[in-house]
Amino acid sequence: MGICLSGGRFGRIHCEKGVVVNLRSSAAKILVIDDDEIACEFLQEALSSEGYRVKYFTSARRALEEESLSSYDLLISDIKMPGMDGIAFLREVKKNWPEMPVILVTAFGTLETTMEALRIGAWDYISKPFSPDAIRKLVKKVLDMRQLHAHQKEKRGEKSDTPQFIGSSAVMVEFYKQIARVADSDVSILIEGESGTGKELAARSLHLLSERRDRPFIPVHCGAIPETLLESELFGYEKGAFTGADKSHTGLLEAAQGGTIFLDEITEMSPNLQGKLLRFMQNGEIRRLGDTKPRQVTVRVVAAANKNVDEEVKKGSFRADLLYRFVVRLHIPPLREHKEDLPLLIESLLKKMGYAHIRVSDEAMEMLMAYDWPGNVRELQNVLKQSILLSPFGIIQPENLPDRIRRKQQDALPLPPLEMAEREQILNCLNATQWNISRAAQLLDIDRKTLKSKMVKYGLVRDTFSGS
């Protein structure tokens, strides 16, 4: 297994079937599955020392037969096991307990295995060997995220209009993982991406997944506010600081104390104001206009840009030293790079707009898949709204789509014979495997990444017909 049990065994009390008893009856219940009993004991000891109630099995099938998994708060499973492996176990869990968090561990990880595990619904993935501290931190993060999701469901009660990221493609899963990894840190973050990709949504996700979630989240659209007004809005001012300042005003940085401030379109900020923001990010101090006394403020800065920031630095319109204050840079993929998410995204947008009964015809879906979406998700939402208004029969047909999308399909050259044959072969394999991408890739003797790329190229989505 490659796990080192350094430092000897942890103190614990054994009961039947490897159950660890602890004094905290309210602690989370965790089930561990690994065909190596030493690895099970290692995890049991590492986690029970934190007060978790831990039980283990050396067989996934036996765990499913003997346990009611709904009573657990978290499952941890090895991937490479005889009989039912971790991926098959994960599928079974997600079929019966879709909300159950599962962490997969393995010493034989590959990119394909990782992506498959995350696509099916694993909450996280860790490679062996790992330290007791590493697994404890991961377990705490997953349980905290689960608790947050449960809290948000209770708090919402009714249907929420807040948009959510939708998509299970490899690029989006990787983006979700990046958000989860940095959300609970205090570092400043720059989110880069094209217009309409959801940069503010990403910033809100970072805030909600952090310990700052109960503190303010304040968005500021730098490009929409004149420079002089933006400075007073950010830093505040004292009475008499300028004409019309008849009372003191708390700035947005102060108002966000303990929380997150989101600076959208930060590249539109003037160089002078960039310098003042830099000083704040360096020492946490602000000075209101008209005041000589500095104030200490603890705020996490998350910014967004739809321009190429490195190019803006080269042009001299954005300060390099301010850019370097952002410890993490996240890039949101444009919609054209994960068009395989379109059907699910469309379904979700239609539901949120109150049109769950509206269907998109296969021909219209092919046109939507062929379009490059320069306006990303925002453009997609507007296209759906327009198409619904023009569709009298509860189904969106090609003639209901905007001209630019129909022209894209009409202007496309027909596929060469070899590509037509390849498309037909891929579609046949997908249908034969009930659209199981891993199995279809095996039949075609290509990897999953290549197959998904070809599916996007040929506009293949579930329920695509071969035309026969």
Helices (DSSP H) in 298-398: which residue ranges? 309-315, 320-323, 342-352, 362-370, 376-390
Q: Cβ distance 44 to 5 under 8 Å?
A: no
| Element at 29 (helix H, strand E) | strand 29-33
Pair 69, 27: CB distance under 8 Å = no
pTM of the predicted structure, to 2 decimals: 0.58
Provide the Cα torsion 17, 23, 27, 33; round to 10°.
-20
- Tens digit of pLDDT for each residue in 2-12? 333 333 323 33
Residue 163 has pLDDT above 70, yes or no: no
Of residues 425, 421, 461, 460, the one with CA closest to residue 446: 425
Residues 6+ apart with CB under 8 A from 389: none
Is 60 exceeded by the pLDDT of residue 17? no
Q: Is the pLDDT of residue 404 over 90?
A: no
**Contacts of residue 4, Cβ cutoff 8 Å, sequence gap at least 6:** 129
For residues 159 and 215, which has the higher predicted lDDT (pLDDT)? 215
Give the Cα separation of 1 and 22 in Å (integer). 27
Tell me the pLDDT band of 421, cut-offs 50, 70 and 90.
confident
Tens digit of pLDDT for each residue in 343-377? 989 998 998 888 888 999 988 998 999 899 999 99
The encoded tokens of residue 131 equal 């330290």
> CA–CA separation, 394 vs 388, rounded Å?
8
Alpha helices in 49-161 (DSSP H): 60-66, 86-96, 111-120, 132-156
Taken in order of first residue, the domains within the chain and their CATH numbers are 16-152 (3.40.50.2300), 170-241+249-331 (3.40.50.300), 336-412 (1.10.8.60), 417-468 (1.10.10)
**Alpha-carbon gap, residue 127 to 131, rounded angstroms:** 11
Write down the mean pLDDT value for the chain: 83
Write the Ramachandran bin of 467: left for phi over 0, alpha for psi from -120 to 50, otherwise beta. left
pLDDT band at 159 (very low <50, low <70, confident <90, very high): very low
